[in-house]
């Protein structure tokens, strides 16, 4: 399987990247890969890096390919942040790496995931390096859209725009690459609305599917104020648990690694001079947990929106397959006892909730308001 085979449903979009690999003389030193979350931006960036290092243009099996994809290649640097912003120091480090020629590969490739998280000042520092790149250095910036990148950088880069792949294409990837059973693969690809990472998690983890079903059940389970308040509290609790499971182990490892680096891993008291470094790490970890929690809640809302979109599709008699085909019974029942206007009102409420969570409203408050809005309207 070539490295490009895993960048599914993007044949037209990635053609310029493949052409650059084939024609190194015409290389562009800065690329921007855009696309909605889940479209595979960082995957495409890594595939490009692998294809540049591989002697066969991305065979997918040689050492250059596998290490470039996994992020272990000496000449491929990936900055993947889980913080809200990329710091100017992180970018300065990248720039100094960018100045050195490749140690073993053919190119030095620097990938910045979430390049939209750079402040203007940081972008300006990066711009200088992009304007006068060393001959064998290639920058690859990933962002949701071109508008998320400073215009000065944009004008010096080539843009590759990914789109959401068709769910059938995602299903095929799950079947062929991950060995998922076809029926389940389709169900998960549609449920994830083509988000490849989410689709794979759903396919592999029955608990994730069960959690999603639980979220969808809210649409029919919330009858009164009491149900709504409980449902909101449940959602927050699930998100907290999920965040804890995802970050706890790593937090401890990182802390131990830092203590080892500082030479303070003998269990004794930390000298005051080192405390601020540990505190800094703990703050970063806290921010990461918060972000994870918010992502889980956002995903739950996106799932609920997909259910109401299905209800709306039944209302208007649309012919396309439902996103949640396996919930068709519930969806038709909900459509039968509501009107399109009710469904649109619920979709509005969900979209408002997403905005509120993104602007840091206390999650429980935002979700309570959402759950209350999802109650069936009582005839006056
Ligand atoms: Zn290869």
pLDDT band for position 37 (cuts 50, 70, 90): confident
Q: How far is the CA of 128 from the centre of ligand 1 (A)?
A: 32
Answer whether 232's CB lies under 8 Å from 364's CB: yes
Rounded CA Rg of the chain = 23
Q: How far is the CA of 22 from the centre of ligand 1 (A)?
A: 14
pLDDT at position 380 is 42
pLDDT at 245 over 90: no
Q: How far is the CA of 40 from the centre of ligand 1 (A)?
A: 20
- What are φ and ψ of residue 126, in 5° steps? -65, -40
Q: How far is the CA of 73 from the centre of ligand 1 (A)?
A: 12
pLDDT at 379 over 80: no
270 secondary structure, DSSP code: P
pLDDT at position 111 is 96
pTM score of the predicted model: 0.75
Cα–Cα dist 199/177, whole Å: 13
Residue ranges of the alpha helices (H) in the chain? 11-22, 41-53, 63-70, 88-99, 120-131, 151-154, 167-178, 182-191, 196-204, 206-221, 225-261, 272-315, 328-336, 340-358, 363-373
Give the percent of the chain with pLDDT over 70. Answer: 97
pLDDT at position 267 is 66
pLDDT band for position 259 (cuts 50, 70, 90): confident
Q: How far is the CA of 55 from the centre of ligand 1 (A)?
A: 6
Instruction: State mean pLDDT over 104-119.
Output: 91
Q: How far is the CA of 41 from the centre of ligand 1 (A)?
A: 20
Q: How far is the CA of 152 from the centre of ligand 1 (A)?
A: 34
Higher-confidence residue of 27 and 159: namely 159
pLDDT tens digits for range 270-287: 777 788 888 888 887 887
The mean pLDDT value of the chain amounts to 89
pLDDT band for position 211 (cuts 50, 70, 90): confident
pLDDT at 358 over 70: yes
Integer angstrom CA distances of residue 80 from 87, 115, 163, 271: 12, 9, 21, 31
Q: How far is the CA of 318 from the centre of ligand 1 (A)?
A: 45
Q: How far is the CA of 1 from the centre of ligand 1 (A)?
A: 10
Q: How far is the CA of 235 from the centre of ligand 1 (A)?
A: 44
Integer angstrom CA distances of residue 301 from 44, 228, 371: 27, 14, 11
pLDDT tens digits for range 303-341: 999 999 999 999 999 888 899 999 999 999 999 999 999
pLDDT at 55 over 90: yes
Q: How far is the CA of 59 from the centre of ligand 1 (A)?
A: 4
Give the percent of the chain with pLDDT over 90. Answer: 55
Answer whether 118's CB lies under 8 Å from 86's CB: yes
Answer whether 281's CB lies under 8 Å from 319's CB: no
pLDDT at 58 over 60: yes
pLDDT at position 248 is 80
Instruction: State mean pLDDT over 245-269.
Output: 78
pLDDT at position 71 is 84
In the sheet where 76-79 sits, what is the strand order? 76-79, 108-112, 137-143, 30-34, 158-161
Q: How far is the CA of 181 from the centre of ligand 1 (A)?
A: 29
Q: How far is the CA of 2 from the centre of ligand 1 (A)?
A: 8
pLDDT at position 80 is 84
The residues pairing with 110 across neighbouring beta strands, listed in sequence order, are 77, 139
3-state secondary structure of 278: helix
Q: How far is the CA of 310 from the centre of ligand 1 (A)?
A: 43
């Amino acid at each position: 399987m070539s490295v490009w085979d895993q960048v599914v449903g993007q044949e037209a979009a990635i053609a310029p990247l493949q052409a650059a690999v084939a024609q190194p003389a015409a290389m562009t030193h800065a690329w921007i890969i855009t696309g909605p979350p889940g479209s595979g931006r960082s995957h495409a960036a890594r595939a490009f890096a692998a294809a540049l290092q591989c002697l066969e243009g991305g065979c997918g099996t040689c050492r250059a390919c596998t290490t470039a994809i996994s992020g272990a290649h000496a000449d491929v640097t990936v900055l993947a942040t889980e913080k809200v912003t990329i710091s100017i120091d992180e970018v300065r480090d990248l720039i100094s790496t960018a100045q050195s020629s490749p140690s073993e590969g053919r190119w030095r490739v620097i990938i910045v995931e979430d390049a939209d998280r750079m402040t203007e000042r940081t972008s300006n520092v990066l711009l200088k390096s992009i304007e006068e790149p060393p001959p064998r250095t290639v920058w690859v910036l990933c962002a949701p859209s071109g508008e998320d990148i400073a215009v000065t950088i944009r004008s010096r880069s080539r843009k590759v725009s990914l789109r959401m792949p068709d769910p059938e294409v995602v299903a095929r990837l799950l079947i062929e690459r991950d060995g998922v059973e076809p029926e389940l693969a389709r169900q998960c690809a549609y449920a994830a609305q083509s988000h490849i990472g989410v689709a794979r998690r759903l396919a592999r983890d029955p608990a994730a599917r069960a959690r999603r079903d639980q979220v969808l059940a809210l649409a029919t389970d919330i009858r009164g104020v009491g149900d709504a308040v409980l449902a909101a509290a449940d959602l927050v609790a699930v998100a907290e648990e999920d965040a804890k499971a995802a970050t706890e182990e790593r937090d401890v490892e990182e802390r131990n690694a830092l203590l080892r680096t500082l030479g303070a891993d003998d269990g004794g008291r930390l000298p005051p001079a080192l405390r601020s470094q540990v505190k800094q790490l703990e703050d970063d970890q806290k921010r990461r947990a918060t972000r994870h929690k918010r992502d889980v809640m956002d995903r739950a809302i996106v799932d609920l929106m997909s259910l109401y979109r299905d209800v709306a599709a039944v209302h208007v008699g649309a012919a396309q397959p439902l996103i949640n085909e396996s919930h068709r019974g519930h969806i038709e029942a909900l459509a039968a006892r509501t009107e399109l206007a009710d469904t649109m009102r619920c979709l509005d409420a969900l979209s408002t909730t997403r905005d509120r969570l993104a602007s840091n409203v206390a999650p429980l408050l935002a979700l309570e308001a959402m759950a209350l809005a999802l109650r069936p309207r009582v005839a006056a």
